[in-house]
Amino acid sequence: MHEYDIALKSLLMRPGDSLLPAITGLPIERWHNVELSEVRNLRVDPLGETASGVLVHIELQRANDPAMIWHMAEYAFSINRQFGRWPPSSSSASVSPRFGCPRASP
C-alpha cells in the first residue's frame, strides 16, 4: 500500500498540475512535508464503565487549562480506539491545591 501512496502523492503534488485544484476547487500554493508520528503514553484519569457498558470519563487537573478541550478530544479518540466505543460523557474537574475544592466543567 505504501508504494501506492507514494505514487499517488507524487501525481497530486506535481508542480503546475491542475488535478488537485480541480478536485478541491482551491489552488495549492505550497506543500508541507509533515510526519505526524508520535510515541506517547496517554494516561486517562478515572474511566468507569456502567453495568450497561457505558463508559464514563472524568479528567482531573490542578489548574484551568485553556487547551483542555483538545486534551479531552485526544482522550476520547484514544478511548474509542482501545474500547471500540465513545465515552458519551467526558468531564474535567479542576481541584484547587489550596482548598482541595473541585470545580467541575463539562
* pLDDT tens sequence across 18-34: 677 788 888 877 777 87
Instruction: Answer yes or no: are the C-beta atoms of 45 and 61 closer than 8 Å.
Output: no
Q: What is the pLDDT of residue 99?
A: 46
CATH: 1.10.1200, 3.40.50, 2.60.120, 3.40.1350. Which one for 2-105?
A: 3.40.1350
Q: What is the pLDDT of residue 97?
A: 56
**CA distances for 58 relative to 1, 43, 45, 83, 89, angstroms:** 39, 12, 6, 16, 8
pLDDT at 8 over 50: yes
pLDDT at 4 over 80: no
* pLDDT tens sequence across 32-90: 787 777 778 888 888 888 999 889 888 888 788 888 889 889 889 999 999 999 888 66
Q: How far apart are CA 37 and CA 54, in angstroms?
A: 31
Stated pTM of the model: 0.59
